[in-house]
Structure 1
Amino acid sequence: MKAGIDSGWFRRYGAGGARRRVLILPHAGGSAAYFHRWGREFGEDTEVLVARYPGRHVRIDEPFVLRMDELADAVTEALLPFLDLPLTLFGHSMGASVAYEVALRLEARHSVRLDGLHVSSRKAPHRLTPRALHREDDDALIAEVRRLGGTDGVPLDDPALRALVLPAIRADFTIVGTYGPRTAVPVGCPVHGYVGDQDPSLTETDMTAWADVAPLGYTQQVFRGGHFYLVEERDALIRALGGAPAGVR
């Protein structure tokens, strides 16, 4: 069993002897805690990093980041001590855009080529159609989170808990609402896309536009489910990322 190790921007899972790393970048309103179980479901040769965005959980006292470029710059700099092993990025929803921007920065600024860029439930940068939900009231934000299926409804029905989680959701929706569309700048690694067949925010065809930034190859896998298909399809998705969930090693 691998133990979690704290490290600033990232929650780390793994021990010495890893031969590769996977960085997971959460969705809007998400946190490292959401992916806690993932850190323990990869093989012993893989160290897993899960990004911890400012303003929540152990970073609750830090100011939120409100712009994509600022967030991508910070994640890129935080990754510099972790470039001694081959690196794969996985981002879900907003995290897919963060992963793409980090990939561009690693290549342009540090001559680092990823093993792979894995993007989930998010349109390609040049096909984005931002919405100004961050300017709407709390009820509108809650309605969108529920539409996407990102919560079981309990925290948002409790006034005290809602007051805790809504600032992070609004901050991340500000990032999403002020990012894109952007030029389709290619990345120097294969790109892999994942989408639920009942996602209310985009279609399988929408996801295929990621091929425009993937001259080294693009593959796509469709899962049963909505925007958060990865809850039910966690094991299959981890296998797609090169992991080995318990029971199938």
Structure 2
Amino acid sequence: MTKTYLRIGEPDAPVRLLAFHHAGGSATAYLPLAQDLRPGCESLLFELPGRDEGEGALRARDFEDAVARLADDFRAAVDRPSVVLAHSMGALLAHRLVGALPAQRRALVRAVVVSAARSPRSAAGHATMPQAPFVARTRESVLSDLRRFGGCPPELFEDEQLVEHFVDVLGHDLHLADTYAPADGHHAGIPYHVWYGTEDETLAPDDLHSWAECGPDTVTLRGFAGGHFYLLEQPEARLVLRDLLNGAADAP
């Protein structure tokens, strides 16, 4: 079976970063971040199928299908102290996967960072449960989201074929969020860090604060300068992530 992640760093590293990309994105967006982390850290950058041209048939049918495709590789990856980093829609996938881990593996998750993400409670409240992509959302609305969230170079919008590809990928990824429903899971004992951009207009305060109601014992909120994609632009966030990885490596 094809692996669902990109691997960066030494396979025998004592600590791992397990990262999940945003809707419409890919693992490669996090390569600069992964390459800038502490020595002795291996990064596994998870990726949903169907990112490239001609791969539409490979995409997950709905949220549960996406979780099922990632679950085996994620479970196997948590075989040493790990920090989970998940941005935007990727946070819903990571939260579900962490909560489904066997107890011995779950004990190795030293921290979960959910970045620029609605909480499970908030996401469930927004889910419309369409039967297929582009039923509840139109291509025009998805294009508007692509512009509103940012993260794309301006020249992308000058290439109609490229725009159509990204609208298609983003629309199918948003379908995963539209078909999200909460599920039972175990998150007690894992510190959660809720990060956000202080200029991110796509999130309401309750989207962030209600992470405290979704299972973790400890939830710490932290804002960074920037918008929805502050994580890829803000050096301070990388420094804080390094500290979390150092703590994970040093913990008994």
Do they fold alike, i.e. is TM over 0.5?
yes
| 1:127 shift after superposition | 2.0
Distance 2:138 2:23 in 1: 17
Percent of residue pairs identical: 24
SS of the residue corresponding to residue 170 of structure 2 reads helix
| 1:90 shift after superposition | 0.9
Distance 1:65 1:157 in 2: 29
Distance 2:216 2:74 in 1: 25
Matches within 5 A, 1:92-131: 92-107=87-102, 112-113=106-107, 114-128=109-123, 129-130=125-126
Alignment correspondent of 2:21: 26
Distance 1:199 1:16 in 2: 36
Q: How many residues align?
A: 236
Alignment correspondent of 1:12: 7
Distance 1:85 1:179 in 2: 29
Distance 1:141 1:84 in 2: 38
Between 1:147-156 and 1:89-98, the stretch displaced more is 147-156
SS of the residue corresponding to residue 85 of structure 2 reads strand
Tell me the TM-score normalised to structure 2 length. Answer: 0.83
Alignment of 1:165 onto 2:166 = yes
Distance 2:126 2:206 in 1: 18
> How large is the RMSD of aligned CA atoms in angstroms?
2.6
Alignment correspondent of 1:155: 156
| 1:242 shift after superposition | 2.8
Which of 78, 86, 92 pairs up with 1:91? 86
Matches within 5 A, 1:189-208: 189-208=190-209
Alignment correspondent of 1:178: 179
Letter in 2 for 1:10: Y
Distance 1:8 1:111 in 2: 19
**Given the superposition, is the C-alpha separation of residues 36 and 153 from structure 1 closer, same or farther in structure 2, using an over 3 Å criterion?**
same
SS of the residue corresponding to residue 47 of structure 1 reads strand
Alignment of 1:36 onto 2:34 = no
**Is the contact made by 1:53 and 1:59 (CA closer than 8 Å) also made in structure 2?**
no
Letter in 2 for 1:142: L
| 1:61 shift after superposition | 6.9
Between 1:133-142 and 1:88-97, the stretch displaced more is 133-142
Alignment correspondent of 1:145: 146
| 1:60 shift after superposition | 3.6
Which of 29, 39, 55 pairs up with 2:50? 55
**Given the superposition, is the C-alpha separation of residues 232 and 38 from structure 1 closer, same or farther in structure 2, using an over 3 Å criterion?**
closer
Between 1:129-138 and 1:170-179, the stretch displaced more is 129-138
Distance 2:153 2:115 in 1: 20
**Is the contact made by 1:134 and 1:173 (CA closer than 8 Å) also made in structure 2?**
no
**Is the contact made by 2:30 and 2:232 (CA closer than 8 Å) also made in structure 1?**
no
**Is the contact made by 1:194 and 1:220 (CA closer than 8 Å) also made in structure 2?**
yes
SS of the residue corresponding to residue 106 of structure 1 reads coil
| 1:184 shift after superposition | 7.9
Alignment correspondent of 1:241: 241
**Given the superposition, is the C-alpha separation of residues 60 and 192 from structure 1 closer, same or farther in structure 2, using an over 3 Å criterion?**
same
**Is the contact made by 2:126 and 2:178 (CA closer than 8 Å) also made in structure 1?**
yes
SS of the residue corresponding to residue 7 of structure 2 reads strand
SS of the residue corresponding to residue 143 of structure 2 reads helix
Distance 1:14 1:58 in 2: 28
| 1:161 shift after superposition | 1.1
